[in-house]
Chains A and B, each alone.
Chain A
Amino acid sequence: MSADEEARLIAAARRGDSRAFAALVDAHQQAVRGFLRRFTGAWADADDIAQEAFVTAWRRLDRFEGRSTFRSWVSGIGYRIARDARRAHGRALKRDGDWAESQAPAEQAPIEDRMALADAMAALPEDQRAVVALCLGEGFSHTEASEILNLPLGTVKSHASRGRERLLQALEAKDG
């Protein structure tokens, strides 16, 4: 979706056009859900949080200033909801193993790799996991991740690099 098209849809949604908002949800759900799935490690919880993030975005659309992209803004809302949910419950969101189900593309990674990756992701510190989920998982730029997570750009770059190393080590350790 082009920036102009997105701006037009946002303006229409602000005027109460729910079809325009549905088009925005349709265009950005993949990135937001993908990020939250990797961040929480639980697909069902992640999708619920993504829904809540989009509904919150609809409610607060007047506050969207356009300094970031729409998908970054909604991802930020989703990140804060997920983080607050973890803190409120005082525990990590339950990992339900949904990731192993068959919703992923057929040419997916071997299950051993996916399990090793899920364990390694769960072991990463919260900020680092969020950066890895955004930048390595969904292809967000470091600048976007910095805006979403409210972290300095240097910290994001360092988290991405170290997080990648730790995930690679986890995959290699599984072989050894």
Chain B
Amino acid sequence: MDSHARLERALGASAAPRRDPAFTVAVMQQVEERRFRVGAVVSILRAGGLAALGGIGALLAANWAGAHWDGVQTGLVLAAAAFALVGFTRSQLRSALAR
């Protein structure tokens, strides 16, 4: 065998297999792990952002309520009255239907 043919064969010894499902599976496992990690980080950031927005909203509402306490009291009384009225009406309707 001449040197060129020997070189070709020696180079061919390092060839990877034509099909290697184990390698493909290993790559896809890493891909899925990375995708899961990215998804988890995005979810955490999203939840953290929503919680921060909620907290800021609650603080602003508390601040506003402190500055407009009279209005808030009136609102609460009106809301309580509305709930009481609705509750009373519903109970009357129920008892009328039951008869």
Contacts and interface: CB of A to CB of B under 8 A. Distances in A.
7 contacts: A18-B31, A18-B32, A26-B19, A29-B24, A109-B12, A113-B6, A172-B3
Contact of B27 (A54, A113, A164): A54
Given A113-B6, A117-B7, A172-B3, A51 B14 contact: no
Interface string B23-47: 1101110111010000000000000
B67 interface: no
- Of all A-B residue pairs in the complex, the 9 with the closest CB atoms, nearest first, are A33-B16, A109-B9, A117-B10, A109-B10, A113-B10, A37-B14, A54-B27, A104-B13, A108-B13
B17 A103 contact: yes
Interface in A29-58: 29-34, 37-38, 43, 47, 50-51, 54-55, 58
Given A55-B31, A168-B4, A168-B7, A47 B14 contact: no
What size tier do the contact residues of chain B reach? Answer: 20 to 34
Contact of B28 (A21, A104, A117, A167): A21
Interface of A: 18, 21-22, 25-26, 29-34, 37-38, 43, 47, 50-51, 54-55, 58-59, 99, 103-105, 108-109, 113-114, 116-117, 136-137, 164, 167-168, 171-172
A108 B9 CA distance: 6
Given A113-B9, A117-B7, A104 B27 contact: no
A36 B10 CA distance: 16
B34 A55 contact: yes
Most A Cβ at <10 Å: residue of B9, B14, B21, B32: B14
A25 B15 CA distance: 16
B28 A25 contact: yes
A21 B17 contact: no
A99 B14 contact: yes
Nearest to B20: A29
A55 B23 contact: no
